[in-house]
Amino acid sequence: MPRTALVTGGVSGIGSATAVSLKDAGYAVIVNYFGNDAEAEEFHAKTAIPVFNWNVADFEATQAAIGGIVATSGPIEILVNNAGITRDSMLHKMTLDQWRSVIDVDLGGCFNACRAVISSMRERRFGRIGNISSVNALSGQFGQTNYAAAKAGIIGFTKALALEGASRGITANVIAPGYTDTGMVNRLPDETLRGIVENVPAKRLASPEEIARGVLFLVADDSSFINGATLSINGGKYMA
C-alpha cells in the first residue's frame, strides 16, 4: 500500500507542485485548501488528487477534518505543512489583525496539523513531517515582522518536534524556500520583484517544482537519519 501524504495549502504554488511530485512518486496524496473553490476544483480536475476545504488556523476544524480523512483513507504518514499567508506592513503601521492572522495560519496551522497526526505516527512508529518555512525566517525582511516571526517559529518548532519523535521513527524537517515563482510572489509590484531577482545570485526565481524536490527528498523512507534539519533552497540568496 502506498503511504498517505497530506499537503496543506496544496492547490497552488509550492503546495501544488509538492502534491503532484508526491503523487508521481507513488504516494497517495490528499490536499487541503481554504476558500478558493474554483482553484481547488481546477486542481482536482487536472490531477485527480482529493481536495478538502478547511482553515488550518482553526484547531477544532483541523482536528475534525484530518480525523475524517483518516477514517476514510487511513492514517496520515507524511504531512507537509505548506499553508501560509502574508499581511505585509512595517511594524509601526501593523495592525493586531495583520499580526495575528499570519501567526495563526503560518505557525498555528503547523501546530494544528501536526497535533492531529502525531499520536498516530507515534503509535505506528513512523512519520515524516516537512514544514515549509522561508528564506525570510533566516535573513529577515523589511515589512515582514509577522511573517518572519511565524516562519522562524516553524524552525524552532520543528527542531523540538524532531527531538520528541526521533525514537519513534518520526522525522521532522524544514524546507526554507527562497523567492519562488508563485502567485504570492508575482503579486508584488514589478519594481519590487525586479529588485528581489537582482539580489539572488542565480538571477531568477525558483520554480515550485525545485522546492518540491527538496520536500520529496526529506519525506522519503530512506531519509530516516535526516532529522531537525533546515534545507535552504534559495539560489544562494542567503547562506548560513
Q: The whole model's pTM is what?
A: 0.95
Is pLDDT at 240 greater than 90 in this prediction?
no
The residue behind cell 507513488 is: 26
At residue 224, the pLDDT reads 98
Is pLDDT at 146 greater than 90 in this prediction?
yes
At residue 190, the pLDDT reads 87
Is pLDDT at 81 greater than 90 in this prediction?
yes
Q: Which residues contact 128 (CB under 8 A, 6 or more apart)?
A: 77, 78, 79, 170, 171, 218, 219, 220, 223
How much of the chain exceeds pLDDT 90, in percent?
92
- Pairwise CA distance, residues 56 & 116, whole Å: 11
Q: Which of the following is catalytic: 27, 33, 147, 179? A: 147
Query: Would you call 57 helix, strand, or coil by DSSP?
Result: coil
Helix (H) or strand (E) holding 5: strand 4-7
pLDDT, mean over the chain: 96
The residue behind cell 481546477 is: 42
Supply φ then ψ for residue 193, to 5 degrees.
Answer: -65, -40
- Pairwise CA distance, residues 239 & 135, whole Å: 9
Q: What integer is the mean pLDDT of 234-240?
A: 91
- For residue 184, what pLDDT band results from cuts at 50, 70 and 90? confident
Residue-wise pLDDT tens digits, 85-140: 999 999 999 999 999 999 999 999 999 999 999 999 999 999 999 999 999 999 99
Residue-wise pLDDT tens digits, 2-56: 999 999 999 999 999 999 999 999 999 999 999 999 999 999 999 999 999 999 9
Instruction: Name the residue ranges covered by the structural domains of the chain.
Output: 4-232
CB of 162 within 8 A of CB of 190? no
78/186: higher pLDDT: 78
Residue-wise pLDDT tens digits, 41-59: 999 999 999 999 999 999 9
Q: Which residues contact 163 (CB under 8 A, 6 or more apart)?
A: 228
At residue 180, the pLDDT reads 95
How much of the chain exceeds pLDDT 70, in percent?
100
Domain 4-232, CATH among 3.40.50.720, 3.20.20.70, 3.40.1350.10, 3.50.30.30: 3.40.50.720
Neighbours of 195 (CB within 10 A): 11
Is pLDDT at 153 greater than 90 in this prediction?
yes
- For residue 73, what pLDDT band results from cuts at 50, 70 and 90? very high
Neighbours of 134 (CB within 10 A): 28
Q: Which residues contact 195 (CB under 8 A, 6 or more apart)?
A: none
Cell numbers representing residue 85 in the block: 499567508
- Pairwise CA distance, residues 206 & 197, whole Å: 10
- For residue 77, what pLDDT band results from cuts at 50, 70 and 90? very high
How far the first Cα of the chain sits from its last, in Å, is 39
At residue 191, the pLDDT reads 87
Q: Is 27 a catalytic residue?
A: no
- Pairwise CA distance, residues 57 & 79, whole Å: 16
At residue 121, the pLDDT reads 98
